[in-house]
Structures are given as structure tokens and as C-alpha cells.
Structure 1
Amino acid sequence: MNNIFKFKKFNILQNNSVFKVGTDSVLLGCFAEIQEAVNILDIGTGTGILSLMCAQRNPNSQITAIDSEINAYSLALENFKNSPFSHKITCIHSDLNSFVCDTKFDYIICNPPYFKIYEKLHRKHPVARQQIKLNYNLLIKKSELLLSEKGKIGYIFPIENEQEIIEMSNHYNLFPKHIIYILGIKNGKIKRVFLELSREENKTTIENFVIEKRSRVWTDEYKNLTSDFYL
């Protein structure tokens, strides 16, 4: 069954075979410091939402979107074609391990699978949600190889994985530039982390971000952050 998620400047066609638009991706697409990036890589594009958000935010960028799943690749292609940004986005059917490109990217963005493969398989979207084809080590190792000298990487993931990812990143000489701890609700627990990495080992900017004041009542900071996208 198909449905459409409508944003101000583009629509996302969704279906049950591809992981749907969620708050994590919207936050990642808004937080990422892509303003100066010429070449952007979207790893595991899914519906294509991150590529479309990047295209809207940075008119001077060229975006490469990859996905290993044929259903996601086909859906993203359709969403790109139906958007005003189709000329800016190239979509490739490939997993990250096999992906080869002469271009070095100024920004690499990814909402990676969160769950380890030894956990119970998700009935829906196992590749999008579990580290079957893409684990954190492969993601960081390959991102470092594809990153330009002054480039940055933006990920979002559960708070439980923060130390593991920072340690892996340091191993590949990538260091935290910006960390945002995301609380679903005011005075609640931190559930997600936005992590922006670069090759520069300098002071890290750390912030907290709250999505809801109370159930289904958005904070002003969330409404301001997403105002260019949500209707």
C-alpha cells in the first residue's frame, strides 16, 4: 500500500517494503552542516528523504544516494524524479562495501541500522533496521575513505552506541565536531545522538535538543528547526 508524506517543497512516496519517514531522519537532515558542501553522499537512502532535504538546504550541492535494496533504490528514484531537485541527485543501486567512486565527498550523511544482527530479526525492513549489510565499523571505515580532506560526516543513532562509535571513529582518525543529545520529551531520557565527525581534532560543541514539551506538543526549537520542511 502506498502513501505520501508531504513536505513544503517535495513529497515522499512511501510503501510497506521500504522503511518510512521518521523523526530521526528529519532531525538528521536538519542538523547536518551541509551549507558549504559541494558533493554529498547519502548512504542507505531509503525513501530518499535525506538527499531531498540536503538538496533543498544547499542549492549548490550535488548529491549521490546509494542503497543496497532494490525496492528502496526504485522508490528513491521515483521520489527524486518527482521532486524539483532531480537534476541534483544521482541514485545508485549498491551497498556501501561495493561502492567505488572517484569523487571525495564534502559531507557524508547516514541514518544507519541500529540493531545488531544477533538480536531477533525485525519482521519488516531487517536490512534497514539491523546491521546485516552495514555495521558501524564498515560505515566509519568506508566513510573515512570517501571523505574529502575538510569534509564532515553526520550520523544519528541510539545513545547506547555513542561510546562505541566515537572509539571506532577515533581509530580512523575521525573526531567529534558536534554532538547533539536528543530527548524525545522534556525532562525525559536521552534516546538519540546526532554526531558530526571531521578529521580535525579540536573542541567539540555539545548541545541538548528536546522534541516535545509533552505528548504530541512540539517544542519551539523543534518547530523552528523543521519549519522549512513540515507543512
Structure 2
Amino acid sequence: MGNIFDFKRFSVNQEGCAMRINTDGVLLGAFAQKNSARNILDIGTGTGVIALMLAQKYEDSQVWAVEIDKLASIRAEENFKSSLFKDRMSIINSDIFQWHTDLKFDLIVSNPPFYINSLHNPDQRKKVAKHTDSDFFKGLMQFSAQHLMEDGKLQIVVPIELSDFLINEAVSNGLNLTHVINIQSFKDSDPFRSILSFKKDTSNQIKETFILYQDQSVYSDAYKSLLKPYFLAF
């Protein structure tokens, strides 16, 4: 993959970014949904792709994106400024837990670093982009509980092994699981990612499965339909 990834309504320059566009991110950007999402926050925006997808989806929204890596935040800002949505997008170069804001959000999304207790990458920037520990997720739940509107929603994509831990952390911060999308490569393969949705209310839980491929290297109709508003190939 080259440095420039062209979508239907925007382009993303990934040059120098430790975390490049990946399946987790575009699935979260496409699945993220909230009625009347006027104020949106993307935590750990990287190249800015999820924030851009949400700015496209919600034409009346204001989108904030926080990124701790300086070079990635510069690249994301460039991507925002070159897009049709530039007047509605803001980048904050900060650790999310050091960002002091009174803003409340209708929708918070995150494709976070999640390799807990795994061998750390010797490249420091990739290490920050790909690795975290349980304190990050505890902080994420605390931040979200404080900064969500009363009817707001948090949506996060994580390895399926982390789901129970995150659900427990959410509950301890007054957030309830409302929707689970388990991602599988093929119909007969085990789920490897979950997109979890949390709200402050106690809505009925919805659980579904999403399959990426119908055959080797052949995307499923569901995947093509989901990404059709964004991907040139579809």
C-alpha cells in the first residue's frame, strides 16, 4: 500500500505514520452510528481516517480528534485540511488524559492500542501506537463516562479476548453494553475482533456477527455494502 489512500470523498496521506489504515479502523468508522451526532470525538486518531469517515457520514457534525504522536497528529491535520470537511474538524496533539475540556460528545470512538502484556515493539513510536495496558482502558472508560452526553455512545474496536474486561470496566463507570458486533474472517472461523457499544442507559443488548470474506481474498457482500460509501473499489 502506498502512502496515499484515496476514498470516494477524501484522501488520507499515511506517510510517516506508525499506524496505517487498517481493517479495524475502517470497520469502526463505517459501523459507528448515533442519531443526531453533532459532537464527535475520535481518540487515538492516527492518520485521521475514522474521523474523516464520521465527518462524511454526519454532515452537520463537529469532529474532534486526539492523537498523542506528534508526527501522526501533523499528518492527520494535513488530511483534515485537504478534505471537504475541513471547517468541521479539529486535531488535538495530546495524551487524551491530559486534554482538559468541558466538551460533551454525542459519539466517542476509538481504535486503541491493545496489545496488553505482549512483547513490545522496539520502535518507540510503533510501541506507543500498538501497545497499552489496562490503565489505558480504565482511563478511557472514566473519560467517556465524564464526557458523553446523557444519551451519548462510546464505540470501540478491540480483540475479542479483551471484551469481558472492558465490559466490566464500563459497568464500574456507569456505562452499559448495548451492542456487540463480533468480526470473523470467514463464516466458519472464530471471531477475532469485537466492536463494543456503550451508553449510560440500560438498553437491550444486541449481538451480531459480521463476516469479512466469502472466499479467500473475496470480500463478503456485507463488507462491500458497509464500505461502499467510502471505498472506490465498491
TM-score range, shorter chain: over 0.9
- Segments of 5+ residues of structure 1 without an aligned counterpart are none
Provide the C-alpha distance between the structure 1 equivalents of 2:50 and 2:20, rounded to a whole number of angstroms.
12
State the AA in 1 paired with 2:36.
Answer: E
Quick one: distance in 1 between partners of 2:5 and 2:134?
A: 27
What is the one-letter code of the residue matched to 1:217?
V
Match of 2:97 in 1: 97
Partners of 1:49 and 1:136 in 2: CA distance? 22
Match of 1:5 in 2: 5
**1:12 offset after TM fit, Å?**
0.6
Deviation at 1:26, TM superposition (A): 0.5
TM-score by structure 1 length? 0.95
Cα deviation, residue 144, structure 1: 1.0
Q: Does 1:214 align with 2:196?
A: no
What's the CA shift for 1:123? 3.7
Aligned positions of 1:1-231 closer than 5 A? 3-116=3-116, 118-124=117-123, 125-131=126-132, 135-231=136-232
CA distance in 2, matches of 1:16, 1:145: 33
TM-score of the superposed pair, with normalisation by structure 2: 0.94
**Closer, same or farther: CA 35–82 of 1 in aligned 2, 3 Å:** farther
CA RMSD, Structure 1 to Structure 2 (Å)? 1.6
Deviations 1:91-113 (A, max 9, x none): 11111110111110010010011
Do the aligned residues in 2 keep the contact of 1:140 with 1:172 (CA within 8 Å)? yes
Matched residues, number = 230
> Whole-Å Cα distance in 2 between the matches of residues 26 and 195 of structure 1?
15
Contact 1:35–1:58 (CA under 8 A) maintained in structure 2:
no
Structure 2 CA distance, aligned partners of 1:53 and 1:123? 31
Q: Gaps spanning 5+ residues in structure 2: where?
A: none
Question: Residue by residue, what CA displacement relative to the aligned partner does 1:170-214 show, whole Å, maximum 9, x if unpaired?
Answer: 101101111101101221110000001000112101110000012
CA shift at 1:34, angstroms?
3.2
**Is the alpha carbon distance of 1:203 and 1:132 closer, same or farther for their aligned partners in structure 2, counting shifts above 3 Å?**
closer
Q: How far apart are residue 31 of structure 1 and its match? A: 0.8
* Bigger strand share: 1
